[in-house]
Chain A
Amino acid sequence: MSEEREKILEIKDVCMDFKQKRHKVVHAVNHVSLDIYKGENFGLVGESGCGKTTLGRTCIRLYDPTSGQIIFDGHDISGKLTKDTRKFLTSHMAMIFQDPIASLDPRMTVQEIIAEGLHNQGYKDKAQIDSMVKEMLNKVGLLPEHATRYPHEFSGGQRQRIGIARALVLKPEFIIADEPVSALDASIQAQVINLLMDMKEEFGLTIMFIAHNLAVVKYFSDRIGVMYYGTLVELADADDLYVHPLHPYTKALLSAIPEPDPLSERRKTKLYYDKSMHDYSKEKPSLQEVVPGHFVYCSDSEKEAYLKELDS
């Protein structure tokens, strides 16, 4: 079914290495390939430090990928960017950041923060910029009067909405939401998530949602990718992934979701994932499509085992 849909972002075999002191290299993202289709919510989950954020930042070119190719809307955005490609990238892709306090410049007013992207794209007419900023503020549930305020005067949820307004003011097609609700409390999380949903409908956005809160991801996403230590280990439709997790790491991750009922929580068996359970000495693992639309990082013999598991 995924063949007919239009791809907005293709990540092909992307690696992102960070050099540390004395020839030590950290492979933050290790040969990851995935496609994101127009109009979907793609969730990316994994434990802290597994490279989700790095992958997101590499997609928007905050980092230069070490190898591999990223194709966004038909434009190759890996490698050296020309002026036109950069302009295309910055106006069509936007990012929402995790920390609502750190992601707004404390020395700038809300107006300046939101209008910055417009200035960068060469908008000159002051009245037009003003009206666009006001419109955006209205959309995220703030008042036009808030434009003259400084970020420290707002609460966490309000700041995150300012961050969303900043990302959306250029009317991008693709949004990378890097843990947008992790720093907020539960009631505000719902507010921000619902706002994102509304905006998605209104602007026809495609969202890459990076999170470690599995409940939020399940609520939000159509398809989910699971990352472990820089590698994409499983990629499937959201429902499919939650009902039939195949990779042992995904199973461990799902078993960690707390249940509201204390009795069933106590009875639940928690799974632990150990890398050494795989024997990759003979067969090299790769991302394989076990059933249509469900990819798992495994070797051929493991694939057989997973297929058997699905049948039973």
Chain B
Amino acid sequence: MTFYEDNKELYDSIPAEKFQLVQNNEDIHDAAFRTKPIGFFKDVWLRFIRNKASVIGGIIILIIMVFAAIGPSMNSYTYTEQHTDLANMPPKVPWIAKLNLGIMDGHYTLTKRQYDNIKDTSKYPEGCILKLKNPRIINGVKIVDVVVDYYKYKGLDDSQCYWLGSDYLGRDIWTRLWKGTRISLFIALFSVLCNVIIGVIYGSICGYYGGAVDMVLQRIMEIINAFPRIVVLTLFIMVAGTGMFSLIMAMVIKGWIPIARMIRSQFYRFKGHEYVLASRTMGTNDQKLIFRHILPNSIGPVITQAMMAVPTTIFSESFLAYIGLGLQAPNSSIGVMLSTGQKVLMQYPTQVLYPAIIISLLMICFNLFGDGLRDAFDPTQRGVS
């Protein structure tokens, strides 16, 4: 360190007029920011799109939704149209069949056929036999498995086909699949929306007012939570009949409780925050405090939990359909298709395959999407599940 005393001559040689006061006669102001303002939700969005897996999940969900919307009208069948003579047709898509990949070309293996009848055109129409497999002799009779083009075998021309096959009543699986996806998604999204609305309002009141109000509302919530869901659903079906209403009610009757609990804990966390107090000192009313201050700060986990609830709801809808408490014929949903397809799983595995693929994709993608949202809303939670 150099002191003035040590370098007196050097310092004194600088003329006084060279010195100048810093910030003389000007107001001290902070510099303007050069960057653009980034709000909370924009920040969340920026963090979200960096997460590739959840972006892909989101895109797949979108694609499935688009198909659920337009899929049923992409071919001429309707979801209730029956062709009992064309039951259990294998899937056939003309342009895939031309590629000779061995999938979706309408082939079907007829087992244990007498070799002698192969040439019989009344039994096997012209050109329907693709391959003979597994020749063997049983009780002195020549037996083979015959791989046929099932559409030609049934005497149909090339123009008519079921893209994903048909079920036991000859209904088009493609149409029913997307119709079912649409209904499953609708039930899931609508019941989650109801859950969020009820849960947010209920939880806000509990958390904001606290005390005796909270006590009473919490006990009511616990009583509702104690009902077994299957029993409630059965009661609803008795009163209101089977259908969407009963299903949605079954999802909503208890589904809002976790969301209400979470919102309540969030309110307890945020209502004592200084910015809420500061707002109160300026005369902000309760409604504004709840909706302008506390709720926007606690909405992140709610959105995440709602997203996570969607696949769970789709799954429980399928489960209910599977045990026979879901939608009834002729309505379709993913669960209905799985349960009917499962009965013929060994003979016609494709009837289960496609709904299973869709429901798995939905589950995986909603979970990925929800994970991404959670990480985006709360980066400290990254990797926790």
Contact = CB atoms under 8 A, between A and B. Distances in A.
Interface of A: 57, 60, 62, 86-87, 89-91, 93-95, 97-99, 102-109, 116-117, 120-121, 141-143, 145-146, 148-150, 153, 158, 163, 166, 170
B284 interface: yes
A62 B277 contact: yes
B274 A148 contact: no
Contacts of A103: 274-275, 277-278
Given A102-B273, A109-B37, 18 more contacts: A90-B282, A91-B283, A94-B281, A94-B282, A97-B274, A103-B275, A108-B292, A116-B284, A117-B283, A120-B288, A141-B29, A141-B30, A142-B29, A145-B33, A150-B37, A150-B40, A166-B278, A170-B282
Contacts of A158: 30
B281 A107 contact: no
Contacts of B32: 143, 145-146
A97 B277 contact: yes
Contacts of A121: 283
30 contacts: A62-B280, A87-B283, A94-B281, A97-B278, A98-B274, A103-B275, A103-B277, A104-B278, A105-B276, A105-B293, A107-B40, A107-B297, A108-B292, A116-B279, A120-B283, A120-B284, A120-B285, A141-B27, A141-B30, A142-B30, A145-B32, A145-B33, A146-B30, A146-B32, A148-B37, A149-B33, A153-B37, A166-B278, A166-B282, A170-B282
Interface string B15-31: 00000000000011110
Interface string B270-314: 000111111111111100100011001100000000000000000
Interface residues of B, number: 28
B212 interface: no
A86 B283 contact: yes
A61 B274 CA distance: 14
A60 B40 contact: no
Interface of B: 27-30, 32-33, 37-40, 273-285, 288, 292-293, 296-297
A250 to B, nearest CB: 29
A95 B281 contact: yes
A142 B27 CA distance: 10
Nearest to A149: B37
Contacts of A153: 33, 37-38
Given A109-B37, A150-B37, A60 B29 contact: no
Contacts of B296: 107
Nearest to A96: B278
Q: Which of B28, B30, B276, B280 has the most CB of A within 10 A?
A: B30
A60 B281 CA distance: 7
Nearest to A100: B274
A149 B277 CA distance: 22
A94 B281 CA distance: 7
A117 B37 contact: no
A117 B282 CA distance: 5
Nearest to B275: A105
A169 to B, nearest CB: 9
Contacts of A94: 281-282
Contacts of A102: 273-275
Contacts of A146: 30, 32-33
B297 A105 contact: yes
B103 to A, nearest CB: 52
B332 to A, nearest CB: 43
A158 B32 CA distance: 12
Listed from nearest, the 10 A-B pairs whose CB atoms lie closest are: A90-B283, A117-B282, A103-B274, A107-B296, A105-B275, A102-B274, A120-B283, A97-B274, A95-B281, A145-B32
A103 B276 CA distance: 8
